[in-house]
Amino acid sequence: MQASNLDIIKLNNLKLAAKIVSEQLTNGVHLGKRVGVGSEFEQYRYYEPGDDPKRIDWKYFSRSGKYMIKESQAESHLHIRMVLDLSGSMNYGENGIKRLDYAKNLLASLSYLAHQQGDSLSYFACQDGKVVQKVSASPKAFQRILYYLEEEMAAGSWPIGKQDFPVLKSKQKELIILVSDFLQKENEWLDIVEQMRHPKKEIVLFQILGKQEEEFDLKGNFRFKDLESDHTVILNHKSIEKNYNESIKNYLSEFKRSLLLPKVYLFQMQLTDPIFEVISRFLSKQTLF
């Protein structure tokens, strides 16, 4: 019997939850197929400054005059940057599951899998118009990420205008995993994705929404509260249902279309989707590095 999202979140223990999610995965747990020093030959690549000269294939050099290194599938040497949206809208919840808790457990599980295969990790948070690095790559990064995730709280709004975030513009080879609802008033999140893009990077976006956010079908009068501004309004379902459902459908479709970019991957999910299934879908579809 598989543990539900609510069961996992109620544990209130991200490390234990991550272990349970990893055990639920029936397929492989590798975040990508990487190559390194090993016994089974996979491919050649050009020698780069910093590589051990002993790895140069001198027989190949004698034939071609090119300094090439043999690579084989081995342990991972991938850097993974975890990024979490902490704006107020992450406090949205349905049926006892808050979006922020879902996001925390998703990131904890992905971090656990990466840690198990030896990837280096770092962690960043998006809040109050700032992108802050909270954990840098180190042997204890996984434990520190869990510590910060346990304590994180969502609040405030995200600026509408285009912002400049130098911390996102690294040129190193890495995988960026960004978790958010990606609800925007203009193009705030698309601007951030564009800043992160680089030929050496893969960007994976997990968009978490509630069922009622994607298709509003409740009946009666409701008090709607903007979780970022605290503004409230009382409306009857008849006055908003059709326009809302058409608007959100168009938005999600356009958002997905806007992200049909090289090395950018969008995974859209609901709060009811089992976390292990979301990760399994990600692992089965990715072609990273």
For the chain, what are the domain ranges?
5-32+76-285, 35-73
Cα–Cα distance between 142 and 126 in angstroms, integer?
19
- What pTM was computed for the model? 0.79
- Architecture label for domain 5-32+76-285: 3-Layer(aba) Sandwich (3.40)
Is the CB of residue 124 less than 8 Å from the CB of residue 131?
A: yes
Cα–Cα distance between 236 and 129 in angstroms, integer?
33
The overall longest dimension of the chain from CA atoms, in Å, is: 80
**30-49 core/surface letters (b: 16 or more CB in 10 A; e: else):** bbbebbeeeeeeeeeeebee
Per-residue pLDDT of 6-58, as tens digits, reads: 999 999 999 999 999 988 885 444 455 444 444 445 566 777 776 777 778 88
Mean per-residue pLDDT, 212-220: 77
pLDDT at residue 269 is higher than 90:
yes
What pLDDT, on the 0 to 100 scale, is given for residue 39? 43
pLDDT at residue 142 is higher than 90:
yes
